[in-house]
């Protein structure tokens, strides 16, 4: 007789394992199916290890400019590539073990293998067809594996993978995805990055800090296309000062490989083609959902443009089947997956007052230098929506803490409704803004107005003071500039 559960979750990334933990807390008998490693892409190959790499790059930057802080370092600062990569892998390994502990703590069964929904309320788990990415953390001792399992509710949380362009397929040697870019055996001296979204810019920032000559090719007229145009323009200027080069409104149409280098044919909007040669090319042109081989098509689950169609509670068009996270569409962010999963399983459990997912209140962060963070409407989007707005802005150069840190480049921008004072959006570029943005996310969730923000006491000296000053600026009441 098949093992029977209230909830089976396919995929153990941030969306999957957090959903499993919450389901168990709600008294639901829960299992999670994983074919490779607990924690998914985020913990093992994405969000976490990239931040470890970027931290190494940040420390190197500080060391190279130690004299600006009154310090002297003898000799040239160099990077030990193997040690940098090893540190990032150890960070992932530690968190991978943390997920294993969470599953045990919450009495969630972990089923190892590749899952397919083979009928109503039925999941069949087989040996994985896909070869696991190396290096990978060791799997905990298997307790459950291949077989057929029953569940009242099945949640698909299979994530996404790098999008591949025809003719520019990654080969693991000269053309990389984020997998290969995460574990270089040696630092390339030159690099081409296709795509200037968060993944592309973060790797471009890391490798530039490590000394590589970096060129970013972007199809759109601005880098980080989803960000406010003013933020994007400022970030580009700062990255250019660091030596990064950009080709906007351009695309790689062809790649020629040689023994240890690639030559990209870059076509601009006027049809001209420039050849750029580099040691390696990183393809960072987006991701696509892992919807294949799950049995979704056979069961009639609606899939559009490579992602599963869901409502605000993660429900698909087929009763008893749900989808969360990257596989359920944009924004493809780990924190969206976690929150979406909690909403989904709380709705399943009948928790009263569960609100559907509001994508307008999900923050986005890019961990380059300077950092970029945002939530809500950009200035352009607010105007497109017909909103009558006030815009406030405050510069890092007028903030005491930023100056003391030696991080005085950047600004915080707020978009408010002129009539109601509603905070419609917030956009930041500068030091530690990925930590600051959550203050505005909370404010938007609480439906805070400009008056409440103005009367909130921020500690001094902090970078957070600029958040209040930006709102004050929208009303001509700035106090420190």
The catalytic residues are 460
Strands 303-304 and 307-308, sheet pairing: antiparallel
Dihedral sign, Cα of residue 244, residue 247, residue 249, residue 250: negative
Residue 27 in tokens: 């008294």
Contacts from 359-364 at CB under 8 Å and sequence distance 24+? Answer: 359/330, 359/331, 361/441, 361/444, 361/445, 362/331, 362/333, 362/335, 362/336, 363/335, 363/437, 363/438, 363/440, 363/441, 364/198, 364/226, 364/227, 364/331, 364/333
- Helices 198-209, 47-64: crossing angle, 10 deg rounding: 30
Rounded to an integer, what distance in angstroms lies between the CA atom of residue 384 and that of residue 163?
30
Question: In sequence order, what are the residues at sequence separation of 6 or more whose Cβ sits closer than 8 angstroms to the Cβ of residue 94?
Answer: none
Rounded to an integer, what distance in angstroms lies between the CA atom of residue 428 and that of residue 437?
8
Rounded to an integer, what distance in angstroms lies between the CA atom of residue 414 and that of residue 30?
42
Strands 245-248 and 213-218, sheet pairing: parallel
Distances (CA, A) of 267 to 196, 217, 481: 16, 10, 44
Cα radius of gyration rounded to whole Å, the chain: 24
- The 10 Å Cβ neighbour count of residue 477 is 12
Nearest 5°: CA angle at 374, between 328 and 290? 20
Question: In sequence order, what are the residues at sequence separation of 6 or more whose Cβ sits closer than 8 angstroms to the Cβ of residue 315?
Answer: 322, 344, 347
Alpha helices (H) in 275-431, listed in sequence order = 296-299, 334-349, 379-384, 400-405
DSSP string for residues in 179-237: HHHHS-SS--SEEEEE--SHHHHHHHHHHHHTT-EEEEEESSSSSSTTS-HHHHHHHHH
Assign residue 207 a region (left: φ > 0; alpha: ψ between -120 and 50; beta: otherwise).
Answer: alpha
């Amino acid at each position: 007789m098949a093992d029977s559960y209230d909830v089976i979750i396919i995929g153990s990334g941030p969306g999957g394992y957090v959903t499993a933990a919450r389901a168990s807390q709600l008294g639901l008998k829960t299992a999670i199916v994983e074919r490779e490693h607990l924690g998914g892409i985020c913990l093992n190959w994405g969000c976490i290890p990239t931040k470890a790499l970027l931290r190494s790059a940040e420390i190197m930057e500080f060391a190279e400019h130690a004299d600006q802080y009154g310090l002297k370092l003898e000799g040239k600062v160099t990077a030990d590539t193997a040690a940098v990569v090893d540190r990032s892998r150890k960070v992932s390994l530690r968190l991978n073990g943390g997920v294993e502990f969470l599953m045990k703590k919450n009495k969630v069964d972990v089923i190892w293998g590749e899952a397919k929904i083979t009928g109503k309320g039925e999941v069949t788990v087989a040996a994985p067809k896909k070869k696991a990415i190396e290096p990978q953390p060791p799997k905990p001792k298997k307790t459950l594996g291949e077989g057929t399992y029953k569940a009242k509710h099945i949640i698909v949380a299979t994530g996404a993978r790098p999008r591949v362009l025809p003719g520019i397929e990654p080969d693991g040697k000269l053309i990389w995805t984020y997998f290969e870019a995460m574990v270089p055996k040696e630092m390339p001296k030159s690099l081409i990055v296709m795509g200037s979204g968060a993944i592309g810019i973060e790797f471009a920032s890391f490798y530039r800090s490590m000394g590589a000559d970096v060129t970013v090719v972007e199809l759109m007229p601005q880098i980080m296309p989803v960000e406010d145009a003013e933020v994007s323009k400022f970030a580009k200027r700062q990255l250019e000062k660091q030596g990064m080069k950009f080709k906007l409104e351009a695309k790689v149409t062809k790649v020629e490989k040689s023994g240890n280098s690639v030559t990209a044919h870059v076509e601009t909007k006027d049809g001209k083609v420039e050849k750029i040669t580099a040691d390696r090319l990183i393809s960072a042109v987006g991701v696509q959902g892992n919807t294949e081989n799950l049995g979704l098509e056979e069961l009639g689950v609606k899939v559009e443009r490579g992602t599963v169609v869901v409502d605000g509670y993660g429900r698909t068009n087929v009763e008893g089947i749900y989808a969360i996270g990257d596989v359920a569409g944009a924004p493809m962010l780990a924190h969206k997956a976690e929150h979406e999963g909690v909403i989904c399983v709380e709705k399943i459990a009948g928790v009263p007052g569960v609100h559907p997912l509001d994508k307008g209140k999900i923050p986005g962060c890019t961990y380059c230098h300077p950092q970029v963070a945002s939530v809500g409407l950009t200035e352009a989007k607010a105007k497109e929506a017909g909103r009558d707005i006030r815009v406030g802005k405050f510069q890092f150069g007028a903030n005491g803490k930023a100056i003391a840190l030696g991080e005085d480049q950047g600004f915080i921008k707020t978009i408010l409704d002129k009539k109601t004072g509603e905070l419609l959006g917030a956009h930041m570029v500068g030091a530690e803004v990925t930590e600051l943005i959550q203050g505005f996310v909370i404010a938007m969730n609480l439906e805070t107005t400009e008056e409440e923000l103005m009367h909130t006491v921020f500690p001094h000296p902090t970078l957070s003071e600029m958040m209040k000053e930006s709102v004050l600026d929208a009303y001509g009441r700035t106090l420190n500039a």
